[in-house]
Amino acid sequence: MKLDLKINFRFSISSLRKYSMLLVPIGILVGTALVFGLVVLSGRSLKAQIQSQSVDVGRRIESLATEAPSARQYEQTKIAMDKLVEQVNQVDQLAKQDSQRLLLSYKIFPKPKETSQLIYSEFGDEFRRSLEGLIQDIRGLDAPSEVELSKDMGPEASRVIRVQPGTIRDKSTQSLIDAICTKRAGELGVYANPKLFSWYGFWEKYKFEGEERAIRDCWNTQVAYWVYEDIFATIKALNGTSGSVFSSPVKRLVGIRFSGPVIFQKTGTSMSDYGYSSGGFEGTRDNPLYILDPVKAMSSGGVSPMYMMGGEGGSNAAQAWTQRYCSPDIDVIHFYLGVVVDNRSVMSFLRELCSEKTHKFRAGFAANGKESEFKHNSIMVLGSSIDPVEMTNEEHQMYRYGPNAVVTLMLDCEYIFHRAGYDPIQPEPIKKDLGIQATPADGSGTGTTPSQTSMPPMGRDRR
């Protein structure tokens, strides 16, 4: 038996009519599939949209609800702001206290309270006594003078006391000189002499040259004395209770100057007081070297020569190595310092010099004002030079520093005074010289004109 497996695909109208009833269900099925597919696709998109917009936003709202600030949050904010204001006020107060210091005389600044010229001589006497007091406080004396050596060795010895480089004394003479000089070194803590300070000799031979000039001299001396105090405080802190020069880290104060680098002074041939030889500067002014803004200077029309040149009759102006200048807020001063120190104590000296210092102040700058103690940190070292000490050099012949190696340390320094503290007593002639308005209305001041010529490079041309 054979099966006929052939399929007849021939199209005919009769066949179409036979299956026409299936077309509608098939169409419905296809349409349903399409709609279902579109629904699935749109559902995924809608879910993602809801997740990104509604759900996430809801979560953020819930987070904000749990982290919402307290109704008293403003009180905490106010406390924090009050602390910031307090800190700012403390900084302002510290800056003001920086230059509120004791005065050598309460009769002169800002204007003389008496018409007598004696108040200026009295100021000078007080300065000299105070400077001597600073030296005594560190147990300072100078090396023996030639007069002292001659007194102990006899008049015939004067011609062999000081010898030229390359020559030597006989052994017995040298031994006697060594004994006298060593004895002196054992009696003091550091070599120091008030006659090394120009203002000391100036006030010793003071002559009145008019009220305005006298006021300037007194103020410049007062500012110099404040700087001196910090140097002596540094020496005292390092040397402590040292029994002699031999054990002191700081062996010798060579000098402190404003108008030029420190140089060694020869030991004098005479002696006015025990331990203080007559060598030193012969009574010249040593005005503070104010650092003035050259840019403002050109628009302001200049300044008094004594400030423009940095000293009486000087020919050099200082460079602002730190770019800090005198302004209505601060007075910037440069000075030069020279010491002989133990070679192991150089860094200790620099650290102590630039450390915080304490000072006293009488309220209202009045002699009977309540005394307070404030702090300041005013010194910055700008440049330095260190040289070994050659004991055969003339400037060291009468000095004995001990068995350890010593060096000469020469420093160029900057000193800053915040004007808010002493502005009420700074004399008007000084403010005028510096181009500072007496009462700044808008917080701005007028610059002044320094010379175009600069000081010697830092650490050079000292001798």
Look at the block and give the residue holding tokens 């405080």: 233
> How close are the terminal C-alpha atoms of the chain, in Å?
141
Residue ranges covered by each domain of the chain? 114-434
Taking only the tens place, the pLDDT of each residue in 357-391 is: 999 999 999 999 999 999 999 999 999 999 999 99
- State the Cα–Cα distance between residues 146 and 277, nearest whole angstrom: 9
Taking only the tens place, the pLDDT of each residue in 77-91 is: 787 788 888 777 788
* Cα 6 from chain centroid (whole Å): 115
Tell me what pLDDT residue 47 has.
66
Tell me what pLDDT residue 448 has.
39
Tell me what pLDDT residue 117 has.
95
* pLDDT-above-70 percentage for the chain: 72
Peptide bond into 328 cis (omega under 30): no
Local confidence band at 308 (pLDDT 50, 70, 90 cut-offs): very low
Q: Is 453 left (phi over 0), alpha (psi -120 to 50) or beta?
A: beta
Tell me what pLDDT residue 305 has.
40
Local confidence band at 272 (pLDDT 50, 70, 90 cut-offs): very low
Taking only the tens place, the pLDDT of each residue in 402-440 is: 999 999 999 999 999 999 999 999 999 999 888 876 554
Tell me what pLDDT residue 86 has.
76
Tell me what pLDDT residue 375 has.
96
Considering the entire predicted model, what is its pTM? 0.76
Mean pLDDT of the chain: 81
Q: Is the pLDDT of residue 214 over 50?
A: yes
Asked if residues 109 and 103 have their Cβ atoms less than 8 Å apart, the reply is yes
Tell me what pLDDT residue 447 has.
40
- State the Cα–Cα distance between residues 272 and 147, nearest whole angstrom: 10
